[in-house]
Amino acid sequence: MESPRDRKYFARKKVCRFCTESIEMNYKNIDTLSRYITDRKKIVPKRNSGLCARCQRQLATEIKRARFMALLPYTVLH
């Protein structure tokens, strides 16, 4: 069932990068994680990251771990 409203946008199907590619999500892998933080160092929301729910949760955990170990900043104001 498609309402006229849906047709206004062309929605590209999002695929979770961590599920489809074999990238290891790990708090020590800062290069990967830093792709998912904004320039104000916030965690990118799921609607922008395009990750599946499970990967997004895992991502948040790993980013928080990296922050605690001073591998990633909490904020730009440090």
Partner 1 sequence: MAVKPRYYETLYIIRPDIKEEELAKIEQRLHDALAAHEGEIIRFDKWAQRELAYEILDYNRGTYYIIIFKSLPGAVAELERHLRFYNTDVLRFMTVSITEAAANKEKAAQENKAAEESSTPEAAAPSETAPSETAPSETAPSEAAPAEAAPEPEQETKPESEPATAEPTEGGAN
CB of 18 to partner 1, least distance (A): 15
In terms of CB distance, is 46 or 71 closer to partner 1?
Answer: 71
In terms of CB distance, is 7 or 78 closer to partner 1?
Answer: 78
Contact 69, 62 (CB under 8 A): no
Q: Which residues contact 75 (CB under 8 A, 6 or more apart)?
A: 40, 41
Maximal CA-CA distance, the chain: 50
CB of 14 to partner 1, least distance (A): 25
CB of 59 to partner 1, least distance (A): 15
In terms of CB distance, is 2 or 24 closer to partner 1?
Answer: 24
Question: Where do contacts with partner 1 occur on this chain (CB under 8 A)?
Answer: 26-32, 65, 67-74, 78
Angstrom CA distances, 28 to 13, 16, 18, 37, 40, stand at 30, 20, 16, 15, 20
